[in-house]
């Protein structure tokens, strides 16, 4: 499609957008009495209007039923997480028995590492992407130490080539082959939080398995953003958070995926709690842990109901919109944003913006990461005073994420105009 940087053109794309009405399902922060233009769904998704009601329902059920709410609440608390398995499975591309909502992301990563990082002999190395998110770095470092090993000997960061920002899949595959029988685990982000690169999860997993290693992914920036097929790609495990693209609220309950070939194996090592215990006999409270043979076998505690209710309210919207249509719109939105940034460069006759996120739609979601050659941080601050929210990551990257559920093409046009104003003045 030939794009144009005009209001009419952007509006015509909005008119043809079958998902346009979902914008009105969300609450926007206000700026001078108007909704802000929000491009930070990669960091904290907006609040669905139905979230407050969902939360109120649980408060009411608690008031009405007390402890009996576990079974008598409108959505019984005892089994609450079971309702979320289906919508989550569609988002992650898994079977319903392979996913469960629980805990928070870093906690879940640690729990999964207990099961899938089992160094022995010389097979003790972990391959991860260059500069993973800080929490993942600390998680990896301390997991290695937990096994009495030295992180410097065990953690290998896959760097891009000199003068490149993006890590080539061929290089990752070659690195896996090189480490070979010393490789215990490959742990990558699905989408890197800084560059916005979507990794080739299928190819990485296949190669890891070829050399006898496990493959796990942190889907914080991928869940609800890109089309995933974790089961078909044969990924061993993954975890994500609920508050970025999944719009479930700050610190909301997170989720895990474990391939069913592992969930069916009760011998697999884990840190356990009573909610991972076989449902039929849980209340006998007997000694000897018997795991549920689904991803629920990794649960520790009873469900955090208020958080779960917010998660459900947000996942209901995903279910209604459908991940395939969302991804289709996301591609068009992101292409339009890319066009707009390049157009600004050409109108200003200066390369202000260098997009480091891959151009290939197979290698990105909706986030574009942009190195701004001049005035980057000031630009972000100026936009914010005009009610346009984008994000700045030190040292030099602006991240903009047009989210298909609540961003429009006109949002992108208006962002472009505000940027032009900034550089012209
Ligand atoms: C956002 C994010 C986190 C945050 O972890 P929490 O445990 O939810 O605080 C971790 N890893 C990645 C890759 C992230 O993008």
- Distance (angstroms) between ligand 1 centre and the Cα of 103 equals 12
Q: 421: which DSSP letter?
A: H
Mean pLDDT of 86-108: 98
Query: Tell me, what's the pLDDT at 395?
Result: 81
Nearest ligand 1 atom to the CA of 135 is: 10
Please give the Cα distance from 36 to 30 (Å, whole number).
6
- Residue of the CA atom closest to atom 10 of ligand 1: 135
Q: 115: which DSSP letter?
A: H
421: alpha, beta or left? (left if phi > 0; alpha if psi -120 to 50) = alpha
Mean pLDDT of 288-293: 96
Confidence of residue 407 (pLDDT cuts 50, 70, 90): very high
Mean pLDDT (the chain, rounded): 97
Helix, strand and coil content of the chain, in percent to the nearest 5, comes to 45, 15, 35
Please give the Cα distance from 121 to 282 (Å, whole number).
37
Could you report the per-residue pLDDT of 103-115, keeping only the tens digit for each? 999 999 999 999 9
Mean pLDDT of 353-373: 96
Question: Is 90 exceeded by the pLDDT of residue 396?
Answer: no
Question: Is 90 exceeded by the pLDDT of residue 85?
Answer: yes
**Tokens describing residue 275:** 């909610």
Question: 3-class secondary structure for 311-376?
Answer: HHHHHHHHHHHCHHHHHHHHHHHHHHHHHHHHHHHHHHCCCCEEECCCCCHHHECCCEEEEECCCH
Could you report the per-residue pLDDT of 136-153, keeping only the tens digit for each? 999 999 999 999 999 999
Could you report the per-residue pLDDT of 160-174, keeping only the tens digit for each? 999 999 999 999 999
Please give the Cα distance from 366 to 231 (Å, whole number).
23
Enumerate residues lining ligand 1, CB below 6 A.
Answer: 104-106, 133, 135-136, 189, 193, 218, 220-221, 241
Could you report the per-residue pLDDT of 326-335, keeping only the tens digit for each? 999 999 999 9
- Distance (angstroms) between ligand 1 centre and the Cα of 242 equals 10
Please give the Cα distance from 16 to 337 (Å, whole number).
17
Question: Is 90 exceeded by the pLDDT of residue 1?
Answer: no
- Give the helix ranges, DSSP H, for 102-191: 105-116, 134-146, 151-154, 169-179
Nearest ligand 1 atom to the CA of 43 is: 1
Nearest ligand 1 atom to the CA of 243 is: 8
Mutate to test the pocket of ligand 1, among 220, 256, 311 (most ligand atoms within 8 A of CB): 220
Mutate to test the pocket of ligand 1, among 140, 190, 193 (most ligand atoms within 8 A of CB): 193
Q: 45: which DSSP letter?
A: P
Enclosing H/E stretch for 63: helix 51-65
Q: Which residues pair with 198 in a beta bridge?
A: 191
Please give the Cα distance from 372 to 355 (Å, whole number).
9
- Distance (angstroms) between ligand 1 centre and the Cα of 42 equals 11
Closest alpha carbon to 302 in 50, 73, 53: 73
Question: Is 90 exceeded by the pLDDT of residue 94?
Answer: yes
Query: Tell me, what's the pLDDT at 294?
Result: 98
- Distance (angstroms) between ligand 1 centre and the Cα of 411 equals 27
Query: Tell me, what's the pLDDT at 238?
Result: 98
String of DSSP letters for 200-233: -HHHHHHHHHHTT-EEEEE-TTTTTTS---TTTT
Which CA distances in Å does 98 have to 66, 235, 368?
32, 11, 31
């Amino acid at each position: 499609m030939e794009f144009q940087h005009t209001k009419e053109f952007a509006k015509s794309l909005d008119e043809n957008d079958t998902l346009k009405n979902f914008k009105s399902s969300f609450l926007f922060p206000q700026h001078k009495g108007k909704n802000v233009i929000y491009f930070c769904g990669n960091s904290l998704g907006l609040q669905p209007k139905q979230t407050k009601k969902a939360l109120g329902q649980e408060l009411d059920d608690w008031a009405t039923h007390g402890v009996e709410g576990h079974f008598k609440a409108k959505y019984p608390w005892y089994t609450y997480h079971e309702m979320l398995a289906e919508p989550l499975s569609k988002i992650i591309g898994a079977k319903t028995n392979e996913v469960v909502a629980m805990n928070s992301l870093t906690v879940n990563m640690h729990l999964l590492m207990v099961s899938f990082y089992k160094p022995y002999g010389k097979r003790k190395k972990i391959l991860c992407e260059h500069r993973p998110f800080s929490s993942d770095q600390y998680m990896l470092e301390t997991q290695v130490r937990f096994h009495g090993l030295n992180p410097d000997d065990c953690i290998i960061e896959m760097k891009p080539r000199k003068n490149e920002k993006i890590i080539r899949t061929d290089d990752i595959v070659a690195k896996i082959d090189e480490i070979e029988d010393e490789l215990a685990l490959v742990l990558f982000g699905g989408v890197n939080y800084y560059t916005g690169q979507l990794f080739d999860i299928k190819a990485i997993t296949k190669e890891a398995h070829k050399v006898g290693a496990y493959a796990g992914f942190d889907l914080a920036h991928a869940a609800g953003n890109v089309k995933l097929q974790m089961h078909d790609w044969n990924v061993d495990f993954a975890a994500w958070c609920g508050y970025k693209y999944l719009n479930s609220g700050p610190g909301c309950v997170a989720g895990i995926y474990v391939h069913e070939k592992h969930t069916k194996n009760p011998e697999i090592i884990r840190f356990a709690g009573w909610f991972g215990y076989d449902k039929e006999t849980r209340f006998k409270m007997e000694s000897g842990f018997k795991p549920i043979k689904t991803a629920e076998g990794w649960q520790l505690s009873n469900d955090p109901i208020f958080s779960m209710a917010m998660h459900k309210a947000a996942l209901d919207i995903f279910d209604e919109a459908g991940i395939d249509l969302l991804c289709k719109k996301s591609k068009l939105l992101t292409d339009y944003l890319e066009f707009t940034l390049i157009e600004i460069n050409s109108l200003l006759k200066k390369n202000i913006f260098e997009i480091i996120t891959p151009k290939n739609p197979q290698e990105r979601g909706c986030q574009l990461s942009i190195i701004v050659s001049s005035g980057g941080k000031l630009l972000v601050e100026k936009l914010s005073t005009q009610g346009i929210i984008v994000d700045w990551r030190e040292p030099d990257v602006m991240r903009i994420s047009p989210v298909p559920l609540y961003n429009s093409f006109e949002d992108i046009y208006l962002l472009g105009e505000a940027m032009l104003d900034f550089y012209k003045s």
